[in-house]
Structure 1
Amino acid sequence: MPRRSRLPEPLRRIVHAGSRSYGRWTALRRVLPSLLICGGHRCGTAGLHQMLAAHPLVLRSARRDGVSFFDTSYERGMDWYRGHFPRQRTARRLQRRHGGAANAFETSPYYLYHPYAAVRIARDLPGARLLVMVRDPVDRAWSHFQAERAAGHEPEPSFARALALESARLRGQEERLGVEAGYRSFAHRHHAYRQRGEYARYLERLAGQVGRERIHVVEAERLWLLPDEVYAEVLSFLDLPQLGPPPPLPPLSRLDAPPTGSDASPAESTHPGVRTRRELSAYFAPHDRQLTSWLGRPPIWRIPIEEETP
């Protein structure tokens, strides 16, 4: 029998639909997540997801790419959401085997940015803990632009031009998301290159709904440089025992690599360019300063290299 990933697309859709229906029918016998990786976009959430999924007391959702319930699928209802998670008997079996509470989780980076996801999470998962990853917002914006270009969601070949178009593209979109039932904004999901790097603004909104004590912020650069240390900090926040070393992080993809290069060419199709980097860095400076209260120090990308050496 062929693997599901090699099935023809029409048949794969039928298999997926059947799996989702079965999950909904058995929803009451399934666990709800006690933790969420809810952002940020292009900040290394896949690596953190992989590390947590390897923990013996952690159960991931059936969808590796995120359930996206509290942002774009909320109208499907809680039974649909529960259907993506393991059965309660699976959680009990892990608890007996490892002597601790099992935790289910999922990763949906758009939760951090959708204007109503935080309200929904607070209402439906009142005890869940939230992990938010942040990254140098200039690198994040460039990685985001590259990813949207690669996916065919961004027709503009110039990064600088896409940044200039952002305000017009996003105008009124959050308001429509709040008043039009079922409305999904393509621009809000795909073209918020600058806006999504304003991390403190989104963290404050999230904390206003779920409480600051339930949020832990992880810097992507620290995860890549010090995975053992960051892994231990995350497990401590989640009250999970460390039952072994963290699994190795997946290698950085081309899209995640920090941008390099000299001044941009007219089309800026290969790198953002020194001028664009400087303008973005200046733009993000006040937003980065607001992160200090969350991290207890300036973000790692704002610390001069000489200050990092003990």
Structure 2
Amino acid sequence: MMTNDRLPHFVIIGAVKGATTWIHNQLQDNPAIYLPAPEPHFFSQDHHLGLDHYRRFFDGARPDQMLGEKSADYLAHPDAAERLAVALPKARLVVQVRNPVDRAYSDYKMLFRRGTVTRGPEHYLDGRPSGQPRFLEDGLYAKHLRRWLDHFNAEQIKVILFEDVKAAPEATVAIVSDHIGAPCHYSTQVGSDPRNDSSERFLPLPVRTALAPLKEAVRPLRGHAVFERVRGVFARQIAYPPLPPELRQRMVDYYARDIADLENLIGRDLGHWKQDHQLAA
């Protein structure tokens, strides 16, 4: 198969655990757009492999389709903005963010169910140095967005909120579609709500670890009645260590200055993020 010599017109750059999978799936359902299913992570993790490696992610696109990709770790990566600007200086960028406290706790829960972290959230989220600085650092959206604004014009970047998706999913798709210059296509099949992985049922960690090499092979079976019935026999909802109220308040304080900076950058009132209350994680 010949390698596609085109490069993406737009990129969804993050944030991790900001429900970017939902907007990716909405755009992927648009016949006018081609997005690869896996996140390329080219401008963050695999830049050393070269542009020919990156182009292979788009081999399946038709000539008439607009190319895009989503790699949620780009926003917080220290080198991704400069690298992407060199390769795609005209790219339209989409940033989707959520309450940084909820994002950090959701990120913690993802690594907890993977077995990467095993201690309670107070060990990682209280502001002291830990083995997982990404939990707190990735939620400093204004800090990261300013780095992207050093390399791209503000009009190239569209920032949407998790709350936008919850309150007006169809309108959010229309806003993003207009930003990237694609015809609007809203999929009711994808759904109106962003996916909440932490509420799902999972196989026990040792079973998931043993089956990890088969993940791609069984992916096409997901959703089939027999497969899901067998999986349901063994899957269980994970009991995550809770986020204590006093720790949540410390996190609210930790992010207060960055949230105020983000409000100025994007012209949105984010006062609801500054309140000490528990949102869906």
1:246-278: per-residue Cα shift (whole Å, max 9, x none)? 642466325279xxxxxxxxxx95310110111
Task: Give the corresponding residue for 2:151.
Answer: 209
Q: For 1:44 and 1:243, how far apart are their aligned partners in 2?
A: 18
- 2:196 counterpart residue number: 253
- More helix per residue: 1
CA contact (8 A) 2:14 2:71 kept: yes
Cα 1:83/1:208, change in 2 over 3 Å: same
Q: Secondary structure at the match of 2:150?
A: helix
Question: Could you report, residue by residue, the CA deviation over 1:38-70 in whole angstroms, capped at 9, with x for unpaired residues?
Answer: 110101011010011111211012xx2301111
Matched-pair contact (CA < 8 Å) for 1:143–1:256: no
Instruction: State the TM-score, normalizing by the size of structure 2.
Output: 0.77
Alignment partners' CA distance in 1, 2:112 and 2:187: 37
Larger Rg: 1
Q: Identify the match of residue 243 of structure 2 among 272, 293, 310.
A: 272
Q: 1:221 aligns with which of 156, 159, 163?
A: 163
Change (3 A) 1:244 1:280: closer
2:117 aligns with: 154
Matched position secondary structure for 2:134? coil
Residue in 1 that maps onto 2:235: none
Give 1:283's match in structure 2, choosing from 222, 233, 254. Answer: 254
Q: Identity over aligned residues, as a percent?
A: 26
Equivalent residue for 1:117?
80
Length-normalised TM-score, structure 1 = 0.70
Q: State how 1:1-310 maps to structure 2 within 5 Å.
A: 26-27=2-3, 29-61=4-36, 64-86=37-59, 90-92=62-64, 102-155=65-118, 157-164=119-126, 167-169=129-131, 187=132, 191-243=133-185, 247-249=190-192, 252-255=195-198, 270-299=241-270, 301-302=272-273
| Structure 1 alignment gaps of length 5 or more | 1-21, 93-101, 170-186, 258-267, 305-310
DSSP-derived class of the 1:217 partner: strand
Q: 1 or 2 for the larger relative contact order (CA 8 Å, sep ≥6)?
A: 2
- In structure 2, runs of 5+ residues without a counterpart are 201-238, 276-281
1:99 is matched with which residue?
Answer: none
Q: Any conservation in 2 of the 1:142–1:272 contact (CA below 8 Å)?
A: yes
Cα 1:145–1:279 change in 2 (3 A) is same
Q: Which amino acid aligns with 2:55?
A: R
Partners of 1:55 and 1:134 lie apart in 2 by: 22
